[in-house]
Amino acid sequence: MKFFSLMALEQAAVDTAAAAATTPGAEEVPAQMGIIGTLISLLPMVLIFVIFYFMLIRPQRKKEKKVQEMLNALKVGDRVSTIGGIYGTITNIKDDTLELSVGKDNVKLIFARWAIRQVEDVAIENDSEVLN
């Protein structure tokens, strides 16, 4: 007799679980709240990434692009300064190396193209090599 009563209790529990699972909307509310909660929790991370992109990454890329354009536009006769602080005039360009003429004695130095910091806009007389 006890065996049949245990089976009846198990069957009742299964029927209750099945009825709860088939109730419309019973599972949808927690699932929707889970998705919304996840989106809300990810929103600050997305905003931080967007801020970093516009404040750090994008300006750095613009700067790198401008420097690359300047390096590609170098030509013989340009007055340049190197990253080491040496001022000179380009006398020869070969692929990724430049030959600079430096000082009154026109000492020839060879530099890598990437070592050029900027092209000087100052007009320099070749005799005195004095910056105005």
Residues 6+ apart with CB under 8 A from 13: none
C-alpha torsion sign, points 54, 116, 96, 72:
positive
pTM, entire model:
0.58
Architecture category of domain 75-119 in CATH: Roll (2.30)
β-bridge partners, 88:
80
**Tens digit of pLDDT for each residue in 17-37?**
555 555 555 555 555 668 888
Report the C-alpha dihedral over residues 7, 8, 9, 12, rounded to 10 degrees. 120
**Tens digit of pLDDT for each residue in 63-84?**
999 999 999 999 999 999 999 9
Residue 55 has pLDDT above 90, yes or no: yes
CA distance 74 to 108: 17
User: 21's torsion region: left (phi>0), alpha (psi -120 to 50) or beta?
Assistant: alpha
Grade residue 98 by pLDDT with cuts at 50, 70 and 90: very high
